[in-house]
Amino acid sequence: MKKRLLLVVAIAVILNSCQENRKHPKIDSPIGWEIMEVPSDASIRGLSPLTSEIIWASGSKGTWLLTLDGGKTWSTGVIDGLDSVDFRDIEGFSASTAIAVSAGQPAVIYKTIDSGKTWQKKYQGPEEAFLDGISFFKNRKGYAIGDPIDGKWMVLETMDGGESWTWLESSPSAESGEGSFAASGSTILTDNEFIWFSSGGSKSKIYRSKDGGHRWEIKATPIIQGEPSQGIFSLSKLDNDNLIAVGGDYLQPDLSQKNAIYSPELGNSWELLSGNLPTGYRSGVAYFPRHHWVVSVGTNGSDFSKDGGINWEKFSDEGFHAVFIDKSQGSIWASGAGGKIGRLIY
């Protein structure tokens, strides 16, 4: 009887293992991108996939986009008639609610609660303001980063889901020639009380707060820097305490030198990756836990890593500005010039 019971248990374990393998078979690499038919020719840098079906996007000409069926059909329009404004970042909360942030003037933050039919202005910065991106933690608490004014970074905080915004008095100081890049809305990252944002240009640093923006630590990085077109362009959290950042020089899209760095300790220190680097300037990076891939995109194509960002391999010549995993962690989406939006195929 005991032997029979052990045999039954062993068979059950094997069957369960087979079922798990069928659910998530091991896949070595992505195939490429499925490019959607999108009713816009705007440059799409703002991207916020909520699920594999619900995706918000924004970009030049005041454009907003929303799909509820995985890209088969799209709703679109112009935010508050601002057809000359570039909304380079967007954060979707639901199929009805999203927040969009402009880059350049006017420096504004807008919110919709009716799936884009109407937009309400929630913040406008001073004339010299330039906003670069936003990041939220669980929809209520969020932060926006803007280039320095009079030597002080603009770190905006909301505690009510974007209804009101406050420029934190504790915002850190910047060096001359430092700014943040609004290439993909992903130079700022939040996780509970942690905030990280990156700079580029004369210096490329990581600014880290562990207490919701009250105190800041400034960390040097070894990424390429020193010119206005160089530095970190995107941040992402991998698993546990690991962070990754990508960038390069947007004026040299094929330059594959010092364009990816990582931190094994939540951004306390940063190191250059030692393996095969991404094959050019990269403006977006995202982690896909299901297959343990890191995916990066830039104007000359797309790369992926299956060893935590140590070694990279180009899998597509499709160029994009931004890449994000959906909030349910089931799909990867990318956006770029000419109204291009794609879904990762694997």
Burial class (CB in 10 A: 0-12, 13-18, 19+), 186: buried
User: If you average pLDDT over residues 134-144, what whole number do you get?
Assistant: 94
- Residue 345 corresponds to which tokens in the numbers above? 């195929």
- pLDDT single digits (tens) 109-121: 999 999 999 999 9
Query: How much of the chain exceeds pLDDT 90, in percent?
Result: 90
Q: Indicate the helix (H) or strand (E) that contains 4.
A: helix 2-23
Distance CA 58, CA 309 (A): 28
The amino acid at residue 269 is S
Instruction: Count how many residues are written for the chain.
Output: 346
pLDDT band, residue 45 (cuts 50/70/90): very high
Residue bearing the bigger pLDDT, 276 or 7: 276
pLDDT of residue 12 exceeding 60, the answer is no
The chain-wide mean pLDDT, for the chain, equals: 93
pLDDT of residue 307 exceeding 60, the answer is yes
Note whether 207 and 172 are within 8 A (CB): yes
In this prediction, residue 262 carries a pLDDT of 96
In this prediction, residue 10 carries a pLDDT of 36
Name residue, tokens 């009805």: 96
Furthest-apart CA pair in the chain: how many Å? 82
The amino acid at residue 145 is I
pLDDT of residue 282 exceeding 50, the answer is yes
CB within 8 Å of 18: residues ≥ 6 apart: none
Using alpha carbons, select from 169, 286, 265, 156 the residue that is nearest to residue 219.
265
Distance CA 54, CA 71 (A): 8
- pLDDT single digits (tens) 64-73: 999 999 999 9
pLDDT band, residue 23 (cuts 50/70/90): low
Number of neighbouring beta carbons within 10 Å of residue 129: 20
pLDDT band, residue 274 (cuts 50/70/90): confident
pLDDT of residue 5 exceeding 70, the answer is no
Question: Please, how many CA atoms are within 13 Å of residue 89, restricted to the half-sphere of its CB?
Answer: 29
Note whether 297 and 322 are within 8 A (CB): yes
Q: What is the DSSP string of 203-251?
A: --EEEEESSTTSS-EEEE--SS-SSTTEEEEEEEE-STT-EEEEEEETT
Of the ranges 22-31, 234-243, 280-289, which one carries the lowest mean pLDDT score?
A: 22-31
Using alpha carbons, select from 333, 274, 330 the residue that is nearest to residue 36.
333
The amino acid at residue 310 is I
Q: What angle do CA 323, 39, 63 make, to 5 degrees?
A: 65
Full-model pTM: 0.92
Give the C-alpha distances (Å, rounded to integers) separating 174 from 6, 183, 209.
Answer: 66, 20, 15
Note whether 66 and 49 are within 8 A (CB): no
The amino acid at residue 105 is Q
Q: What distance lies between CA 200 and its chain's CA centroid?
A: 16
- Residue 151 corresponds to which tokens in the numbers above? 């030597």
pLDDT of residue 4 exceeding 60, the answer is no
Query: How much of the chain exceeds pLDDT 70, in percent?
Result: 93
pLDDT of residue 275 exceeding 60, the answer is yes
- pLDDT single digits (tens) 212-258: 999 999 999 999 999 999 999 999 999 889 999 999 999 999 999 99
Give the C-alpha distances (Å, rounded to integers) separating 342 from 16, 309, 323.
Answer: 34, 22, 9
Looking at the domain covering 29-345, what would its CATH class be?
Answer: mainly beta
In this prediction, residue 22 carries a pLDDT of 45
In this prediction, residue 7 carries a pLDDT of 34
Rg over CA atoms, the chain: 21
Distance between first and last Cα of the chain: 46
User: If you average pLDDT over residues 108-136, what whole number do you get?
Assistant: 98
Using alpha carbons, select from 226, 232, 322, 323 the residue that is nearest to residue 272.
232
Distance CA 294, CA 310 (A): 10
User: If you average pLDDT over residues 34-40, what whole number do you get?
Assistant: 98
- pLDDT single digits (tens) 171-221: 999 999 999 999 999 999 999 999 999 999 999 999 999 999 999 999 999
Q: Indicate the helix (H) or strand (E) that contains 143.
A: strand 141-149
Give the C-alpha distances (Å, rounded to integers) separating 129 from 104, 112, 134, 208.
Answer: 7, 23, 15, 22
